[in-house]
Amino acid sequence: MPDGMSAGPVLTDVKAELFKSIGHPARIQLLEMLADGPVAVSRLRDNTGLEPSNLSQHLGVLRRQRLILPLRRDGRLFYELASPEVNVLLEAARSLLSRLLHTSHMTLSALDEAPQEEATR
């Protein structure tokens, strides 16, 4: 690390790269599919509908970020999550989104009720 540079900015950059790597719907879908264990590439292709070359590119991004690992079984290529923390990250995102959607719904409900309250005054 260069003199005068703290770990904070470097860690921030690394985190940004991590989030960029999962910042595509297809890659999130792939990670979600791998949440329960290894999945054959053929099944990933069939379940995502991605063209083989496109699927390969997305898998490459996830591999380079070390979020997934390839493995061979009986001559077939499978992928699996590299660590349980990937699943924790996906669950945290689901939980956050649920919370945000709930809060947005409550805000919208309050806005819907406001005109009715004004009309009864």
The Cα–Cα gap between 77 and 57 comes to 15
Domain ranges for the chain: 1-82, 83-121
Helix 25-34 / helix 84-119 crossing angle, nearest 10 deg: 120
Give the per-residue pLDDT at 90: 94
Token duo for residue 115: 């005109």
Cα 16 from Cα 18, distance rounded (Å) = 5
**Is 0.85 topped by the overall pTM?**
no
CB 45 within 8 A of CB 33: no
Q: At the topology level of CATH, where does 1-82 sit?
A: Arc Repressor Mutant, subunit A (1.10.10)
For the chain, which ranges sit under pLDDT 50?
1
